[in-house]
Structure 1
Amino acid sequence: MDKVKQIKYEPLEASPVKSFFVRMLTRDIELGEAILDLLDNCVDGILRTKKKNEGNKPYEGFRAEIEFNKDTFTISDNCGGIPWKLHDYAFRMGRATNHPPDVPGTVGVYGIGMKRAIFKIGRHCLISTRNGDHRYEVEITPKWLDDESDWKIPVANAKRPMDEEGTTIVVGELNPGITERFNEGAKSFQQSLDRMVSTHYSYIIDKGFEVKINGQPIKPRTTKLIFNDTQEKASIRPFIFKTKKDGVDVFLSVGFTRGIPTPNDIADEQEQKKYSSEDAGWTIICNDRVVLYCDRSEMTGWGEAGVPRYHTQFIAISGIVEFKSDDASKLPTTTTKRGVDASSPLYLQTKNKMREGMRFFTDYTNQWKGRAEEAQKHFKEGKPLSFNEIKTETQRLHLNPTTRSFPPGEQYKPDLPLPKRLEPTRRRISFIKHVADIKAVAEYFGDIDMEPSEAGEKCFDLFLREARK
């Protein structure tokens, strides 16, 4: 038998290809979402400082400013800076298993947010940061990006003066497509980014955090639910459920943001968007960040398990679910932190309660169908409360244990005022006519500001008198 020749093999090269790494990191994230990742880092910095205020405004005094033009993108903050002890985690491509323990309330899990955002925007970046006695800067250059063998990033003492602890990131040599977004499309992109920040950071801004985009302060778009604090048993209040599972606190509230819409309100929404659906549906919050805003799809339980599909008649129904955990990996979010992980067991279990709350209010809305004007008085007796105000009010409500449902927890189901039964000899008449025809009838009766329902009633009364002659 021939002797087998022994060949000496060299170890295989399995190090990552930098250009591939950068392309794959940025491929599936939108520009706006990448910028929100940078804002997440600002908020995480606040939590690391442990200087959050007590009370309803824990983020007051902290700010982030975003500026962009056709040449550069800049984000600066006073949120504590990047501690030198975290430099390996902050600047490394990914999160090592021996990373420092997470600060409670932060949302970083994978260690890619800041780098992915920078690579999405441009090829040259200077990061200047101040934390404690450390003031340093890190520069990522096109030469470094193109060098497949060099994974070391140079660090130097910061040249930029910094009066407060915080971080400034300046990105230049913008990528193809980004320059256009920041130049010819700047107005449209800023409007889109303004809305993203005003919704995804609505609860953080409402708690005192300040965000400016090209000098313009962002106002939060928060959901407020009507709460009547009367002593009467039947009143307009939200459905509430809370529980704690595997280190995650869950608080759910669903109810009315305004009165049940009248037929005219529904027609206005369908034709003129005056009674907007944009603020209806479910908002999901994870560690103060909104990951889903006013959703009206099956993702949040609409159109499944006995819940009707969303329709403008349910335009006044909104809900909020908050998940809080010291361990961000347990939160039901996607890797972009701008969506819900629909396969999360915790979210699927919580969704059961979301559907239960929705059925409660959609059924109630149907009970008032055709009599919305009559229902308005009950809504005017209550006042819209913010999510934090509802959580405060919950402390004085009697919540019942829900041991038979899953997940077990505590819930409050309000007694809502019901419509009086109509007399058996009376029936409702309703119909739709063109606006011009309605105005013509109103002018005939001498009142051009007459409501359509009043015009229809006067027509009926007029012909009724004729019929009875």
Structure 2
Amino acid sequence: MKTMIANASPTKELFMEMFIRDLSLEDSILDLVDNSIDSLIKNKNIDVTDALLPGGNDGTSKAIHPLAVIEINYEPGRFRIRDSCGGISVEDAVNEVFRFGHSDDVVRGQLGVYGIGLKRAIFKIGNEIMIQSRTINDGFNMRIFVPEWAKNPNWTFPLEVTEKAENYETAGTVITIKSFRPEVAARMRVVTFESHLIEMIARTYGLFLNKYVAVAVNGHKVEPKVIRFGCSDLVNVAKEEITEGNVKATIYAGLAARDEDGAWQAAEAGWYVACNGRLVVVADKAQLTGWGTGATPQFVGKYRGFIGIVFFHSRDPLELPWTTTKRGLNQESLIFQRVRTRMAVVGRPVITFLNNMYSSEETERAPQREVAETIKPLDVRTMTGHLPTAFMTKVKPIIDEYVRVQYNAKRVDIERVRKSLHKSDLAASKVGKYTFDYYLKKECPQ
């Protein structure tokens, strides 16, 4: 019997076309931001498991000084991202960073998961790529002309070793990309692209911005958009912690902070999920986070005051339930399945409160409204030192002044009263009210 070997080697065409097909330009740029922040984490020995949300006296950790900087600039024909996050060493560049996937013994960063983000991002954006990186020990330059590289059967990128950075402040990486793919060039010409990108960065890296790093897009500084709960002496925020293996999950659920007009915004409501501090799910109101699955009702307008967030942390990012694009969750993940069950339990009292508050869907009932009117915005980072607890409110009980009185009477007797009052068309209920009031006046005078 003759034995042969089937060729299963990948083609570069598969990578360049299929691997990047479902990746948006915005997600490509976020992958490059991840790469910069991961360099910062490695070079500054930051452990996001402990440092992003510590329970200090003020609930937040001290920022690093000076802040690392990430500058994103684009114009027709050129995209550039520059950072001062410490740079990529020549050793890492040769052995790890430009591999398609991680080697078994590599020490991973805490945002880099699969070893594909940087390569996929730069190939998505354009065909002429220049990478310059300097650490305090060495540096390198790399040029990639994608059409030529695609023809070369070798999966390698040549690089030139250069001088090191002068100091920590100048250590970093610059990636310049030209000759855009047609869909990228078209997307960048959209008037709202810049504002949308800024919004995504503000959301995704809200826990990093102005604490570890400052980001600017075309010269516009990105301010963090931090998730805020509503809290007061009358209402708290629920908290539950779950640990499974090397993954720790912390669940928070409560009422959202109200806007300047004292209203809840439905667009901000729902569940948020972060993995190692990076937001991967924003204001979800669908089955992904349990809405409409039985344990939690379908999201409707009266739940616009609900907000919840889950923080997944692990020193090994592969154990976290994020997807390759880091814009969703792997629903097959065992830790996520377990946590989603607890999300329904932790959030249920908040849903009950809102059901009671909007029993008619339109008007707010007074006891719940009084609680909601007392809440003040609370940054989620200030709650990390709190002990786990259930959602609780101090709602004043309704003391109803009225009791419904009903009784039966003979028709002939009702007609006698109508005749006495000279009101032949008086409703039976009015007859009952009249006779009740008459008895109070005559027999029970105050």
- With the shorter chain as reference, the TM-score category is 0.7 to 0.9
> In the alignment, which residue of structure 1 is the partner of 2:371?
378
Mean Cα displacement is larger for which, 307-316 or 284-293? 307-316
Q: Secondary structure at the match of 1:204?
A: coil
> In the alignment, which residue of structure 2 is the partner of 1:277?
266
C-alpha separation between the residues in 1 aligned to 2:129 and 2:164? 14
* Residue 420 (str. 1) matches residue 420 (str. 2): no
Q: Provide closer, same or farther for how the CA distance between residues 142 and 342 of structure 1 changes in structure 2, counting only shifts above 3 A.
A: closer
> In the alignment, which residue of structure 1 is the partner of 2:18?
24
List alignment gaps of at least 5 residues for structure 2: 52-59, 405-446
TM-score, normalisation: structure 2: 0.79
> In the alignment, which residue of structure 2 is the partner of 1:41?
35
Question: AA paired with 2:356?
Answer: Q
Question: AA paired with 1:345?
Answer: L
Q: How does 1:50-449 map to 2 (within 5 A)?
A: 50=44, 52=46, 56-58=61-63, 61-87=67-93, 88-97=95-104, 99-103=105-109, 106-158=110-162, 164-183=170-189, 185=190, 187-205=191-209, 207-228=211-232, 230=233, 235-258=234-257, 275-369=264-358, 370-372=363-365, 374-392=367-385, 394=386, 397=387, 411-423=388-400, 425=402
Question: AA paired with 1:16?
Answer: P
Q: Provide closer, same or farther for how the CA distance between residues 368 and 142 of structure 1 changes in structure 2, counting only shifts above 3 A.
A: closer
Q: Provide closer, same or farther for how the CA distance between residues 357 and 58 of structure 1 changes in structure 2, counting only shifts above 3 A.
A: same
Deviation of residue 132 (structure 1)? 2.1
C-alpha separation between the residues in 2 aligned to 1:224 and 1:378? 17
RMSD across aligned positions (CA): 2.8
Q: Provide closer, same or farther for how the CA distance between residues 208 and 278 of structure 1 changes in structure 2, counting only shifts above 3 A.
A: farther
Q: Secondary structure at the match of 1:27?
A: coil
> In the alignment, which residue of structure 1 is the partner of 2:412?
none
TM-score, normalisation: structure 1: 0.76
Deviation of residue 190 (structure 1)? 1.2
C-alpha separation between the residues in 2 aligned to 1:287 and 1:426? 56
Q: Provide closer, same or farther for how the CA distance between residues 176 and 415 of structure 1 changes in structure 2, counting only shifts above 3 A.
A: closer
Q: Provide closer, same or farther for how the CA distance between residues 421 and 100 of structure 1 changes in structure 2, counting only shifts above 3 A.
A: same
Deviation of residue 387 (structure 1)? 1.4
Q: Provide closer, same or farther for how the CA distance between residues 10 and 238 of structure 1 changes in structure 2, counting only shifts above 3 A.
A: closer
The answer to whether the 8 Å contact 1:278/1:294 transfers is: yes
Deviation of residue 182 (structure 1)? 2.0
Deviation of residue 96 (structure 1)? 2.9
C-alpha separation between the residues in 1 aligned to 2:44 and 2:35? 15
> In the alignment, which residue of structure 2 is the partner of 1:434?
none
List alignment gaps of at least 5 residues for structure 1: 266-273, 398-410, 428-469
Q: Secondary structure at the match of 1:205?
A: coil
Q: Provide closer, same or farther for how the CA distance between residues 414 and 173 of structure 1 changes in structure 2, counting only shifts above 3 A.
A: closer
Percent of residue pairs identical: 26
C-alpha separation between the residues in 1 aligned to 2:296 and 2:319? 28
